Amino acid sequence: MAQPEISTKVVPATKVAYVAKKGSYDLIPQAMGEVFGFVARLSVAPAGMPLGVYFNNPRETPVEDLVWELQVPVPPDTSERREGDFGVKAVPERLIAFALHRGPYDSVAPAYDALSAWIAREGYRIAGPPEEAYFTPPGVPPEQIVTEIRFPIAKAS
């Protein structure tokens, strides 16, 4: 498999609606519907592509203990709040290293490995949990899925 092209960029500060989850990533399609339903209840339009933020390493954490969040950017004037597992919060600007992954979600591990190795080699350190930006809508064939794999980074000291 070819190594993904890796680069950096600054992701601007944004407001996001989110749903916090614990358990299998198999729950992501259902949770995606839930977070978009929450956005609709807020009476705002999504302001960008949905993201997943993953707080554990699935290679080291039992599936039932995985903690993750799905986020949908919303307009900046949306009021911050918390309603059970749902909420709206501000996400600060951050520098990220990223790679585009094309193909099924269950084949992203090599992209994560390549991105982690690149970060260390280029003199950065990982400065937050990994993120996945989902560029394709539900229902596309797995080989056509495009996901941006991201790590917030900072210069290593």
pLDDT for 98-140, tens place per residue? 999 999 988 999 999 999 999 999 999 999 999 999 999 878 8
Asked if pLDDT for residue 3 goes beyond 80, the answer is: no
pLDDT for 41-88, tens place per residue? 999 999 999 999 999 999 999 999 999 999 999 999 999 999 999 999
Task: Give the residue from 65, 157, 55, 145 showing the smallest Cα distance to 106.
Answer: 145
Class of residue 149 by CB neighbours under 10 A (exposed 0-12, middle 13-18, buried 19+): buried
pLDDT for 129-145, tens place per residue? 999 999 998 788 999 99
What pTM was estimated for this model as a whole?
0.93
Find out whether 75 and 15 touch, Cβ atoms under 8 Å: yes
**17: part of which helix (H) or strand (E)?**
strand 14-22
DSSP letters for 61-75 = S-GGG-EEEEEEEE-
Find out whether 47 and 53 touch, Cβ atoms under 8 Å: no
pLDDT for 16-52, tens place per residue? 999 999 999 999 999 999 999 999 999 999 999 999 9
Q: What share of the chain is helix, strand, coil (3-state, %, to 5)?
A: 25, 40, 35
> What was the pLDDT predicted at 1?
52
Q: Which CATH superfamily is domain 6-155 in?
A: Regulatory factor, effector binding domain (3.20.80.10)
Each domain of the chain, given as residue ranges in start order, spans 6-155
| pLDDT category of residue 2 using cuts at 50, 70 and 90 | low
**What's the rounded Cα separation, in Å, for the pair 61 and 144?**
29
> What was the pLDDT predicted at 9?
97
Q: Which amino acid is at 150?
A: R
Q: Is 155 helix (H, G, I), strand (E, B) or coil?
A: strand
